[in-house]
Structure formats: C-alpha cells, structure tokens
Structure 1
Amino acid sequence: MSEELFWDLIARFNWKKTGDDEAVLKPVVTALSKMTVEDIFAFDDILAAKLHALDTREICRGTYRGTLDPDDGAQYISADDFLYCRCVIVANGKGLFDQSLANPMGVPQEMEFEALLGVASAAYEKKMGQEYDHVTPLSWESFSNKEGWKPTARTRPGPYTSEAVPPGNRRPT
C-alpha cells in the first residue's frame, strides 16, 4: 500500500455520520476489507507510523495549550487521551497531518477519534472472519517516540515522569 492510497482511504470517512463512529468508518473498512491481507497490515503500519510521528512533546504542547505543560512532570497527561487526540489529526487527512507537524501549536484541541485505531482490525475481521493479531513495527502509544520526547531546557521531572509510573503513562524527562 502506498502513502497515497492510505490518504485516499482516510479521505473516504463519512463525516455526515458524525456521532456514529462505525458509520463514519464503514466506507474505509469496506474498501480495505476488499484488499489483500498485506494491504490491511500495511494500512495499519502506516497509521502507526503517522501516529508515532505525531507523538512529540511539541504536538502535546499544542494539544494541551493553555491547560497542561508536557515539560512539567508534576502535571498528569493521559496517554490514552493524547493518543485519541492524535487520531483526530490523522483522521482529518494529509493536509492537517502535514500542517500539524509544521505548526504544532495549531493542532485541534478537545477532540478525539479513538475509533480510527480499529479500522484495520475491523477490515481484517470482515475479510477473514477471525481475530486480528498483526503487530505494527512502530508503536502508536503515547510517549513511545523517544526522539519526539527528548527533554528540553524547560523539562522538569515530577511524579508523572518517575520510575514509579508505569511505562505507558510515564513521560520521558
């Protein structure tokens, strides 16, 4: 699967059905389920790479601007919430994705689209009639992009950066 096809599929979401995530995703799940299993895996791999690329201190700073500071280890930032906020960026297409990387302070706030994470799984299960078990080479989990979370001069340790916090919720310092 090419990046172009990935973004073409993303553009097929039916936003007229906003409020019903399954209906929003249906055109993409249907199209993807008609492709090869390798294409489904590739879609998931590209999605993970896009979410990983957005998993940065600067995107986090833009996402929570005015409310939370990713450099302040005393402030809790939900790993799940940050992931679902990054899903909004990808789900809205290549234009917003590129714009967000170029200007992290302009990313959408207070929006989430967790349902995006299930597209490949739903397509695979529709096609194969069995559980999806593909593991992407890159993690889309929050705080997993070590390069994107390099400390800055303003980064301060705190309770949410300590070894006592499980890795999935621990921010790098």
Structure 2
Amino acid sequence: MTVITDATEALPTPAEEARFWALIESAWAALGAEPLALRRALVERDPDGSEDDDEPYAIDAWLGPFLDRLRQLSTELSAQELTDHDRVLERKLHDIDREDIHEMTDGSDDGFLYCRGFIVALGREYYEAVHARPALAVLDAECESMCYFFAHLHNERFGAWPETGSGISRESFGNPVGWAA
C-alpha cells in the first residue's frame, strides 16, 4: 500500500521499492555475466583515475536488450503494479534531480532526465552509489526509454497514463531540495 504523507504526496512503500529493484535486477540477470561485470565496474571505478575514457560507456550496448527483457517481464503486470513501478521510478528520478549530480553528468533539461534514467536503469547498487557519490555518474550517459517506461506500458495496455498520486515531477530541475543553493 502506498504511503500518503499529505494530501498531495504518495510515497512508494519499501515493498514497492523492493519489487521495483527486483524486477530491474531480473531483467539484467537474464542477460548474463558481461553486463553484470560492466555494471559492477561502474560502481567500483575511480572517477578520478586514469581509466579508459570509453570504459564507462561499454554498458550502452546492453541497454536495448535490458529494456527488451524488462518489457517482457512486465507484460503480465496489472494496472496497479505498473502504477506502483511508475511511482517508484518517478521518485527515484526526482530524488537524484540534484545540482551536484547534474554537475557530473551535464546535459540540458531532457539530457539530464535521460542521464537520470540511465542511473536508475543500471540498478539499485549503481543508483545508490551515485546518490551517495555523484562523481560516479557518467558524463552524458543516457537511457531515455527508462524515464517513462512503466507509464508507457500502462498507457499501451490500459489506455491511460498511471495516476501515481505523488505530486512530484520527474522532469529535470523539478526537485527544489536538489537545487537549493
């Protein structure tokens, strides 16, 4: 059950978040060891080190197969389950809508949103690492399709966008706490 903190803000429950991250990990797990190793390398890398400039972008080739697998795993989800996943997704995107992360990723409004989609798409471990240490974010990395993934599925299957009840925006520069100077 979604937690309501006031009349305008529904927060995902810990159980909803756990299901969301489990679904993301299931999609990645189906792709084998190589993308797992690439994702691990992004978490463990030294952003100030002298690594190969292309190394952080090696995961890009796996984003399409990941999204395809995520779609397959989501085909039987109910309207409520898709709404719950979308609520978690928008909250995660909103929470990393921060100036310190933007400084590491660059990008316009849309570009920064797509970069945050990349961060979420790579899974909980990378998301939490970037949340805690923005220097781990990858400059100009993006996964546009992740940003409204569950909303699009909900619309395709049920003919309407999900009503998450969150009262927040996933769009860039929409988190006043992340941009308070």
When normalised by structure 1's length, the TM-score is 0.69
- The residue type equivalent to 1:2 in the other structure is E
Deviation at 1:32, TM superposition (A): 2.0
**Which residue is 2:80 aligned to?**
38
Deviation at 1:33, TM superposition (A): 2.5
**Structure 1 CA distance for aligned equivalents of residues 97 and 110 of structure 2:** 12
- Specify whether residues 30 and 86 from structure 1 end up closer, same or farther in structure 2 by C-alpha distance, changes over 3 A only: same
Deviation at 1:37, TM superposition (A): 0.8
**Which residue is 1:7 aligned to?**
21
**Structure 2 CA distance for aligned equivalents of residues 80 and 122 of structure 1:** 17
Structure 1: gaps spanning 5 or more residues: 65-76, 152-173
**Which residue is 2:150 aligned to?**
120
CA deviations 1:142-169 (Å, max 9, x no partner) are: 0000011001xxxxxxxxxxxxxxxxxx
Aligned counterpart for 1:86 among listed residues 116, 138, 155: 116
Highest Rg: 1 or 2?
A: 1
Q: Is the 8 A contact 1:28 1:119 kept in 2?
A: no
Identity %: 27
Deviation at 1:121, TM superposition (A): 3.4
Deviation at 1:4, TM superposition (A): 1.5
When normalised by structure 2's length, the TM-score is 0.66
Structure 2: gaps spanning 5 or more residues: 1-14, 36-58
CA deviations 1:88-136 (Å, max 9, x no partner) are: 11000001111001111221112110011242134325543x3x32244
**Which residue is 1:18 aligned to?**
61
- The residue type equivalent to 1:5 in the other structure is R
Aligned counterpart for 1:60 among listed residues 102, 118, 142: 102
Q: Secondary structure of the equivalent of 1:18?
A: helix
